[in-house]
Amino acid sequence: MATALKPDMEKNPKNILGTNLQSCCFEPKTGFYRDGYCKTGEEDYGTHVVCAIMTNDFLEFTKSKGNDLSTPKPEWRFPGLKAGDKWCLCILRWLQAEKAGKAPKIVLEATHEKALEYTSLELLKSYEFVN
């Protein structure tokens, strides 16, 4: 019996621009599946689909909301993040930060199309990270 592929097993996941999803970061290795991509699936309750460039403002904001991304957690093989690191963020946390004026810039090509179920392409594009 053939089974449908889960979203995390998509052969060609798409980004918010409709093209193939690009990697977000391999050092530190990010993504819900820790494969470097902001892919998601049924078990990803946080919907980690936004490839963001960390800032001190955002790291302080998310810590104040109970999600400390800057402190290393060796037991989880998590090095702790610093400004300039790329990381796959939960779309709802990113939107919460955006409302508070603390949202980091994002890499559009590495942000999964699922983000469009939560917000507009225009808003996401307004935070585009440009080298």
Q: For 42-77, how does the pLDDT look when each residue is reduced to its tens digit (9 = 90+)? A: 999 999 999 999 999 999 999 999 999 999 998 877
Q: What is the pLDDT of residue 76?
A: 79
Rounded to a whole number of angstroms, the CA Rg of the chain reads 14
Distance, in Å, from the CA atom of 4 to the CA atom of 109, rounded to the nearest integer, reads 26
Q: Smallest Cα–Cα separation from 115: which of 10, 42, 33, 17? A: 17
**CB 50 within 8 Å of CB 37:** no
Name the β-bridge partners of 15. 112
- pTM to 2 decimal places: 0.90
User: Consecutive sets of 10 residues in the chain, 131 residues long: mean pLDDT of each?
Assistant: 46 94 94 95 94 98 96 89 97 98 98 98 97 78
Q: What is the dihedral of CA 91, 96, 97, 100, to 10 degrees?
A: 160
Q: What is the pLDDT of residue 7?
A: 46
Q: Smallest Cα–Cα separation from 121: which of 130, 111, 131? A: 111
